[in-house]
Amino acid sequence: MPDTDVIVEMRHITKRFPGIVANDDISLQIRQGEIFAFAGENGAGKSTLMSILFGMYQPDEGEILIRGRQVDISSPNEAVALGISMVHQHFKLVHNYTVAENIVLGIEPATRLLGLIPYVNMRPVNKVIRELSERYGLEVDPSAVIEDLPVSTQQRVEILKMLYREAEILIFDEPTAMLTPQEITYLLDIIRKLRDDGKTIILITHKLEEIKQVADRCAILNHGKLIATMDVATSSTRDMASKMVGREVIFEIDKELARPGEVVLDVQGLTIENEHHVDVTQDVSFKIHAGEIFAIAGVAGSGQVELADAIAGLSAVKTGKILLEDCDITHTLVRPRTLKGISYIPEDRQDVGLILDFLLEDNLASKAYFRAPFSRRSILQRNAFDSYADDLIRRYDIRCSSGALTMTRSMSGGNQQKAIVAREVEQDAQLMIFVQPTRGLDIGAILSIRRRMIEERDKGRAILLVSLELDEIMAVADTIGVMFAGRMIKIAPADQMTLDEVGEYMMGVKQS
C-alpha cells in the first residue's frame, strides 16, 4: 500500500476518563476515498476516537497525521479547516431556521447594503445548495424550515452542510439509528456516491450488516482496544461479531410459542391530537391478549409513542376508547391506571422515566410511594424505601456507588434503564408497555431485557412493545402492528411477515 493513499493516520492514541480507558493505544490508517467503518458495542470507544479526530477531545497520548502531516486538532474548527466534518447522532440544527440558514451558519455570505452596511443575503446560497442537493440526489429544499422536516431529511441537511464546507473526510456517527430499512438503503446509496466522488467516509456503527453492505474496511474496537482491522469483503459477519463482543454471540433468543389468553387491552378507534391540535394518530384499533407480545413497528414519529403515552394516561385522547380488562380507562388519570395494572417503560428515560435528582430509592418507589408500606398516614416510611430498594438493586443487578442512596443522575444509562425496568416489572401489572427499551444499551443488557419481556409474557401478562429496531421486533414479537403516519395499517402474526414486508409497510409503500 503506497503511503500517499493514506489520508488519516492515528498513532498510539490513548484517552482516559475517570475510571475508564476509553481508547487504549490505538494505531490505524484510513485511505483516501474509502469507506472505513468502526464497529463495536456501546462504550467500546469508537465515538471517543472519532471525537478526538474531530477535535472535541484531546488524546492523552499519541499523534494524528492528516495527509502525512502531523496535526494538533484542538477544536472542531481546526478539524473543519483540515477538511474533516462530522454528522453527529443528535443533529446540530437550529430548528426555526431554514435549511440554507443552517448550512451557512457561521460562514454567512454578507452583502453590503448601499455599499456600506453588511447584511446577510441568502439568495446566492440557495442556488448553490440546490445544485449540491441535485448532484448527490439529496432532495432537500433549501428554503424549508428545519422543524417541518422529517428526521431523514434533517440528516441529509447535515450531509449538505459538510459538502457546502467542502469537507474531504466525512464522519457519520450511527447514521442509521433513526431510519427505516428503505431510508437506510437510500442513505447508503448516498454514502457510496460520496465515496465515488473521492470523499473519504468514516462510518461509526454497531450494525454489522451495514458494514457488510457499504464499507471497504472495518476496525473493530472492544473495551477501548483495537481488536482488528479487516477487509470487509473477505470477512464474515459472524467473525466480526465475535471479535466485537469478545466471545461467540448468540443472537437468537429461545422463545416458545405464545399461548394467548383473554383480551387485556382493547384499543378502539383511538385518535390523539398533540398540543398544536394536529392528529398524531387516527382511528387506531387493536387488542392485546394475556400472554402475548404485541409489537408496534413504524418510522420514528408515526404516532406510536403518542399511542403508548395515551394508553398509560400521560396524554389525552380526542376520540376513541381504551379498555383495560373490559374497564373503560379512556379518561382516567395516570395514578388509577397504574393501580389498575399498567406499567410503562417510557421512551425518554432521563426526562420522563426517572427524576434524575432524586435518590435511587425514591425513583424505585416512585410508582408506590403513596401507599403502604412506603407511606402511612401521609408520612413516608424511609426504612421501607431503603429495604425495598436494596432488594431490587440485588435482584436486578443495578450497579450504583452508594446503594439505595445513590443520586440517580450519577448512574450510567444502562443502570438507569435497569432501575426503570425493575420498578415497572415489580408492579405486577397486567399490561406492560415497553417503548424503545433497549436503545443505547450494550448487547448483554439488550439480551437480558428481551428475555425479561418473554419471561413476563410467559407469566401471562400482556405486553406492548414499541421499537424502532426491526431486529428487536422480529426477535420477540408474537403479533406485529405497523403504524404509518398515525394509522395502524397492518396487524399480523409475527411469523407471517418478513422483515422486508414490515419495512415496506413502515414506509407506507405497501397497503393492506
Partner 1 sequence: MSGRDPRWDVGPDALKKISEPGGKCDDPVAPPSQDPPNPAPSAPDDGAVQVQLNWFLRAFGNERWQFITIPLLSILVSLIAISIIVGVMGSNPINVFITFLQGAGWIMKPVYAGGFGMLSDLSNTLAAFTPMLFAALAVTIAFRGGLFNIGISGQMLISGFLASVIVGYSGLSSFVAKPLVLLIGIVTGAAIGALIGFLKYRFNINEVVASIMLNYILQYAVSYFINTRYLDQISRQSRVVSPASTLVLSGIYNSKTHQLMVSNSLPSVLKLGDIQFLVPICFVLAIVLAIALQFFLKKTRLGYEIKAVGANRRGAHYSGIRVKRTILVTMMLSGALAGLAGVSYYLGYFNSIQPDTLTSLGFDSIATALLGAAHPIGNIASSFLITTLDTGGTYMQSMMGVRQEIAQLVTGLILLFSACSAFFRWRIAISRQKAEMRAYEAAEHDVDTDLVASSQGGDAA
Partner 2 sequence: MSGVNTIIIDGLALALPLLIIAIGGIFSERSGIINLALEGLLGFGAFCGALFAYASVTLHWFSPHSMIPLYLSFLVAALGGSLFAVIHGLLCVKFRANQVISGVVINILSVAVTGFLTSQINVSVFGGPSSKFDLMTAPRLTIPLLSRIPVIGAIFTRFYAFEVMILVLLAIFWFILYRTRFGIHLRAAGDNPQALDAAGVGVARVRFTAVLISGALAGIGGMCFAYSILSNFSAAIYMGYGYLAIAALIFGNWKIMPTFAACLLFGLAQSGANQLILWLKMDSSVGDLAMIVPYALTLILLAFFSKHNRAPRALGEIYDKSKR
Measure CA 186 to chain center.
19
Among partner 1, partner 2, none, the one that 190 touches (CB under a kind-dependent 5 to 8 A) is none
Q: Where are the beta strands (DSSP E) in 96-199?
A: 110-113, 117-120, 169-173
Picking from 331, 356, 329, the residue whose alpha carbon sits closest to that of residue 342 is: 329
- Least CB distance from residue 440 to partner 1, whole Å? 5
What is the C-alpha separation between 424 and 300, in angstroms, rounded? 24
Q: In whole angstroms, give the CA distance from residue 366 to residue 284.
A: 30
Which residue's CB is nearer to partner 1, number 237 or number 350? 350
**96 binding partner 2? (CB under 8 A):** yes
Least distance (Å) between residue 161 CB and partner 2: 8
Residue 321 phi/psi, 5-degree rounding, is -135, 150
β-partners of residue 200 are 169
The residue count of the chain comes to 512
Q: Of 14 and 268, which CB lies nearer to partner 1 in the complex structure?
A: 14
- 95 binding partner 2? (CB under 8 A): yes
Residue pair 465/431 in contact by the 8 Å Cβ criterion: no
Beta carbon nearer to partner 1, 302 or 436: 436
Q: In sequence order, what are the beta bridge partners of 231?
A: 217
Could you tell me the three cell numbers for 296? 408496534
Instruction: Provide the CB-side half-sphere exposure for 171 (13 A, CA).
Output: 24
Does the footprint of partner 1 cover residue 106 (CB under 8 A)? no
Q: Residue 236, exposed/middle/buried by CB under 10 A (0-12, 13-18, 19+)?
A: exposed
User: Phi, psi (5° rounding) for residue 54?
Assistant: -90, 5
| DSSP-based three-state secondary structure for 207 | coil
Binding mask 487-506 for partner 2 (x = CB under 8 A): --------------------
Binders of partner 2 in range 11-70 (CB under 8 A): 56
Instruction: Label residue 255 exposed, middle or buried (CB < 10 Å: 0-12, 13-18, 19+).
Output: middle
Q: Residue 118 binds which entry of partner 2, partner 1, none, with Cβ cut-offs from 5 to 8 Å by kind?
A: partner 2
Which of partner 1, partner 2, none has residue 334 at its interface (CB below 5 to 8 Å by kind)?
partner 1
Q: How far is the CB of 223 from partner 1 (least distance, A)?
A: 6
- Contact code string over 310-339 relative to partner 1, x by CB under 8 A: --x-x------------------xxx--x-
Q: Which of 17, 70, 92, 336 binds partner 2 (CB under 8 A)?
A: 92
Site string for partner 1, 155-174 (x = CB under 8 A): ------------------xx
CA nearest neighbour of 202 among 59, 8, 41 = 8
* Nearer Cβ to partner 2 (105/372): 105
Identify what 119 binds: partner 2, partner 1, none; CB under 5 to 8 Å per kind. Answer: partner 2
Give which of partner 1, partner 2, none residue 251 binds (C-beta under 5 to 8 Å, depending on kind).
none
User: Would you say the C-alpha torsion 415, 417, 418, 420 has a positive or negative sign?
Assistant: positive
Nearer to partner 1, 20 or 81 (CB): 20
Q: What is the side-by-side order of every strand in the sheet holding 84-87?
A: 84-87, 169-173, 200-205, 35-39, 217-222, 225-231
Q: What is the DSSP secondary structure assignment for residue 103, as one 8-state letter?
A: H
Our finding on whether 460 is near partner 2 (CB under 8 A) is no
Shortest separation between residue 18's beta carbon and partner 2, angstroms:
13
Distance CA 253, CA 230 (A): 29
Minimum distance of partner 2 from residue 120's CB (angstroms):
6
Q: Which stretch binds partner 1 (CB under 8 A): 244-252, 357-365, 427-435, 481-489?
A: 357-365
Say whether residue 75 binds partner 1 (CB under 8 A): no
Question: How far does Cα 31 stand from its chain's mean position?
Answer: 29
The whole-angstrom separation of Cα 501 and Cα 491 is: 12
Question: Which secondary structure element, helix H or strand E, spans residue 17, and what is its range?
Answer: strand 6-17
# binding residues, partner 2 (CB under 8 A): 23
Identity of the residue, 77 or 410, whose beta carbon is nearer to partner 1 in the bound complex = 410
Residue 396 binds partner 1 (CB under 8 A): no
- Of partner 2, partner 1, none, which one sits near residue 382, judging by CB under 5 to 8 A according to partner kind? partner 1
Q: Which of residues 106-145 bind partner 2 (CB under 8 A)?
A: 106-108, 110, 117-120
* Phi, then psi, of 297 in degrees rounded to 5: -100, 155
Report the alpha-carbon distance of residue 243 to residue 208 in Å, rounded: 12
Residues that bind partner 2 in the complex, under the rule CB under 8 A: 56, 76-77, 80, 88, 90, 92-97, 101-102, 105-108, 110, 117-120
Residues that bind partner 1 in the complex, under the rule CB under 8 A: 15-20, 22, 42-43, 47-48, 51, 56-61, 89, 173-174, 223, 275, 312, 314, 333-335, 338, 344, 346, 348-358, 362, 366-367, 369-370, 375, 378-380, 382, 399, 401, 407, 409-416, 439-440, 442
